[in-house]
Amino acid sequence: MSRPLTILLAAPRGFCAGVDRAIQIVEEALGKWGAPVYVRHEIVHNEHVVSRLEQMGAVFVDELDECPDDRPVVFSAHGVPKAIPAEAARREMTFVDATCPLVSKVHVEAERHARDGREIILIGHAGHPEVEGTMGQLPEGSMSLIETVQDVASFVPRDPDNLAFVTQTTLSVDDTAEIVAALQARFPKISAPHKEDICYATTNRQEAVKVMAERADLFLVIGAETSSNSKRLVEVALRAGTPKSELVASAENVDWSWFEGVDTLGLTAGASAPEDLVQGLIAACRARFDITVEEVTTATESVVFKLPRVLEKV
């Protein structure tokens, strides 16, 4: 008789509306124009999603100069610097922007602050494509990146009374709160976003993990090593009381020695991880343990983003 294991399954988990839309954009582009359709950067940070789209005829490239002029190109959900669509237009390419509308909202905010003459701080992680896309909305030097509370202390503004901040959408709500508090303490007149920049899906997935964490002996987050929101979920679980939390790409990456002494497993998936990977991990647990699955629902998501007009069905 295999030993019992309770699996607490987070709801919501996995794909968010922005990821759903981005994947659909590539699929619809392939349907409309045929293969190959080029995609600048991974459309979303998940190798399973990327390899499925590659099998359908998508070609993933790092830069626009790797794309031929006569084939369509899709820009990833993370957003791109303004220079990229400008260059595509100059080359008279067919292009579709799959930037998540919540990321686009941050871009619009940053541009508004720049028009109003404010110096802008972006709270985010260096090197992340979303950060590169946001910073690339404005001329170089218009925006400064702040990654930690320590960065706040060493930041030297041009005018401490004329600042604004925006944030990367996939950060931990708690981490951002600490940095925002430090900014507001040091620069009381700093302009904040009208509404939180952290996306609803990031917030909801983190809240679900917080609710489950104290009950779990081990927490597994399904997601890619390159996925910022998935990595944050691992940290949130540890911070909220789970003794051990790991990021795994799929069931194949699980080290089953982690399960020694584990009676309750917390399980979730980052915003770019497909549901079949979650079910695959549950099946792998079922093969080894006598499992009980308890879905823990902390929010219901009904957000749907429209496709770009060029792909809307006539």
CA triple 154-82-197, angle to 5 deg: 55
What HEC string does the chain produce?
CCCEEEEEEEECCCCCHHHHHHHHHHHHHHHHHCCCEEEECCCCCCHHHHHHHHHHCEEEECCHHHCCCCCCEEECCCCCCCHHHHHHHHCCCCEEECCCHHHHHHHHHHHHHHHCCCEEEEECCCCCHHHHHHHCCCCCCCEEEECCHHHHHHCCCCCCCCEEEEECCCCCHHHHHHHHHHHHHHCCCCECCCCCCCCHHHHHHHHHHHHHHCCCCEEEEECCCCCHHHHHHHHHHHHCCCCEEEEECCHHHCCHHHHCCCCEEEEEECCCCCHHHHHHHHHHHHCCCEEEEEEEECCCCCCCCCCCHHHCCC
Q: Which residues are catalytic?
A: 130
First-to-last alpha carbon distance for the chain, in angstroms, is 58
